[in-house]
Amino acid sequence: MLFALQQNLNLSAMLPHDAWGWAEAVAFSPDGKLLAVSHTAGQISLYDLTLKPIEERILVGLDTTSDHATSRTQVAFSPDGRYIAATVHNGPDSLHEVAVWDSQSLELVATGPEGWNQFAFSADGEHLIGRDRTRVSSWKFAPGHPLEEVASTVIGDDSNLAYAPMAVHPLDSLVAYGSAEGLINFWDPDSGETVSLADERVNESIVHLTFSPDGTTLAISTNSSLHLWNMARREMVGTIQDVLPMVAFSRDGQKLLVAQRDESL
């Protein structure tokens, strides 16, 4: 269930998923006024939460060419909330392609590479960072122009890497990415340097990574545990066992919301 605490709204009840597939990915704009939702049937919608009733605008319509029940669609806002990036599908024989829209005019302003499994805007909003099966790469974003690759690093060719997680630091260009072997890596697109935390490997596949809003802590989730890495001290500072890989930091970074296996928070 999707619930907006400040507005006291049950947003799930407002999404007509029975008509065109279940919501697969959601993203709030930084100011909390807009909600982007992508669906298993290919539709991407933008909701203005400041209006009553809430207004739905459609970025991408229904995809009737194939079944997307197992697709891994993602949506993300730029740091200033002006732009929305998402992966879109252009037919049964194509990979997902990255596209960027203006959140105000809904104009398509940029398109990018195919095959990304995960992506995020850089802290300054001037780049999109994405990963595919073998690489993590940084692409220059300029509205009205195709995305342009400016840096990349090879992460391997193992199929287990296909959906391993990635997170972009909220204050600089640093990128963290994990592996099925429990290894955390940090890549700086500006310098090209990659650092692997070989001595801090966790014992399970890493399935989710999240930076705190101030960038001081990296939350590392496996299927059964949560590990907290302190960026300044360069060490693990805490572990929580028997939890689901669903975590979120509060806006001030002082609280961490964790999903327990007994369905509590």
Average pLDDT over residues 136-158: 90
- Domain count within the chain: 2
- Contact yes or no for 33/42 (Cβ under 8 A): no
Residue that terminates a domain, selected from 93, 115, 137: 115
pLDDT at 15: 52
pLDDT at 116: 85
Tokens of 1: 């269930």
User: Residue 143: inside a domain, yes or no?
Assistant: no
Same domain, 85 and 161: no
Total Cβ atoms within 10 A of residue 9? 16
* Reported confidence tier of residue 243, pLDDT bands at 50, 70, 90: confident
Q: Which residue has the tokens 């999903």?
A: 259
User: Residue 99: inside a domain, yes or no?
Assistant: yes
The sheet that has 44-48: what strands, in order across it?
A: 23-28, 34-39, 44-48, 55-60
Residue 59 CB partners (closer than 8 Å, separation 6+): 36, 44, 45, 46, 84, 86, 101, 106
pTM for this entry: 0.83
User: Residue 175: inside a domain, yes or no?
Assistant: yes
- Contact yes or no for 219/206 (Cβ under 8 A): no
Residue that terminates a domain, selected from 115, 136, 164: 115
pLDDT at 70: 42
pLDDT at 1: 45
Tokens of 68: 């997307």
Same domain, 20 and 106: yes
User: Residue 68: inside a domain, yes or no?
Assistant: yes
User: Residue 130: inside a domain, yes or no?
Assistant: no
Name which residue leads in pLDDT, 222 or 92. Answer: 222
Q: Name which of 39-53, 115-129, 214-228 the model is least confident about.
A: 39-53
Handedness of CA 230, 235, 240, 243 (dihedral sign): positive
Tell me, what CATH number does 31's domain have? Answer: 2.130.10.10
- Whether the pLDDT of residue 256 is over 80: the answer is yes
pLDDT at 20: 46
Residue that terminates a domain, selected from 66, 83, 115: 115
- Whether the pLDDT of residue 245 is over 90: the answer is no
| Residue range of the domain that includes 39 | 1-115
- Whether the pLDDT of residue 252 is over 60: the answer is yes
β-bridge partners, 48: 34, 55
Same domain, 109 and 188: no
Residue 246 CB partners (closer than 8 Å, separation 6+): 208, 221, 258, 259
The sheet that has 235-241: what strands, in order across it?
A: 208-211, 217-221, 225-230, 235-241
User: Residue 100: inside a domain, yes or no?
Assistant: yes
